[in-house]
Structure 1
């Protein structure tokens, strides 16, 4: 299981790196210059300038990674030769197995609907708590 989680995280690590790097490029240099003039240490610059600027991107990437991990199907199916052991069964794998292998379409539909509801609630909570900035900086 740990190997699958590691492979899955490695698969999407470049996505997270690109998002964070893009957000870091948007931090104005004058903020760092003012912090240096004020005598701020590198840690204080990170805590007071960098982290507040990238926290929304970090929150989004953690949310997306959680949703993608919740929906992991392909990696488990391929790594276990379409016969996952019980400890590797996620909801999408379970819905597939009971729907297509055991022909219990009602149970499969219930599992898929539950998965949809849970992921929708997480998405709604995110959009209610996230406050996107309306500020546009023109240089």
Structure 2
């Protein structure tokens, strides 16, 4: 698979990722309703996605009706997409964890990009989106 140019994504590519995704692991989930990760998790749930929160500080607690896991490997269910609400440096190891659990997609939030992690993920067959927010993309793509 040819690596993507991550400066821009086609609408078709983003629609494919969002349409084929059913279950999302949200790394960096927050219990603070004022945080973007909390708001995006809630939005994605309202759109019909199952969103599994990942945050070692909240492990085994409930967040928006879902059990929080300490790390991706702890999630017992199949995950389609790993959504990254961590800084760019931390996103590299998250990409490796996403590969290890057999995710199909990695979505790095606005301001988050890790070219090396993305390259490893793409070499393993995953599709990667960086520096985008699904809460912003969905209304534009699915009018």
> TM-score range, shorter-chain basis?
under 0.3
Give the number of the structure whose alpha-carbon radius of gyration is greater: 1
TM-score scaled to structure 1, two decimals? Answer: 0.23
TM-score scaled to structure 2, two decimals? Answer: 0.23
Structure showing greater relative contact order (alpha-carbon pairs closer than 8 Å, 6 or more residues apart) = 2
Q: Identify, as 1 or 2, the structure richer in helix.
A: 1
